[in-house]
Structure 1
Amino acid sequence: MVEVIYEQLNSPELKQDGNYIVYEVYSTGKIKTSSKNVTGPMVFYYSETNGLTKMLSNVPMIHGLGTSSGSFGESSETAVKIPERLTFFVGTKEQWEKIH
């Protein structure tokens, strides 16, 4: 499972490759970025022992895509903002169905 947490201070911005937003996914599956969550085409790279490898774009490998954000508190002045998150599973449809 991959989790992207947006608008994190002292975290790197997401890279751009032409019109694509680049997500580099390492073994932890967690990405913290100072970037905002914006819509647009995405490309994913995953970590291997010898560097990053681009995920195939012609094979459906992203499943269970979801976002969350919000705030809690008694008033807008005291509310604590919950950072926006994007979560998704990377793998085959069969792998996704095995765990869900």
Structure 2
Amino acid sequence: MNISRIKFISLFLFFAFAFIFGTNLLLDQSPEALIGAESQVAWKSTVSTILSPVKIVLIGPLLPFIEFLRQDPDTPPPFFLIGFAFYWTILALVIHYLFYKIRRSY
């Protein structure tokens, strides 16, 4: 299965945003909350803990960026979205390259 780089990045960005927004809405957490809290309902805490490795990869390196933007309480949300999209594009390029190398070695 050959998938173009642009299509891969587009799908990666779409699913990353859907994952983050879906988990935020479902689990009632802020985006930078990486693991479940004890104050949550048991099933929400369990699901949050199970999904934490994915959130660490998707959001972990962006925590300093998020904290920097939260210094100003009136930071527009597009700055967060642009930062996420920039990091996830780089991440998608690296993953696409690794998949390409693995596929070419076999």
TM range (shorter): under 0.3
Which structure shows the bigger proportion of residues in helix conformation?
Answer: 2
Tell me which of the two structures has the higher relative contact order, counting C-alpha pairs closer than 8 angstroms and 6 or more residues apart.
2
Structure with the higher fraction of residues in strand conformation: 1
TM-score of the pair, normalised by structure 2: 0.25
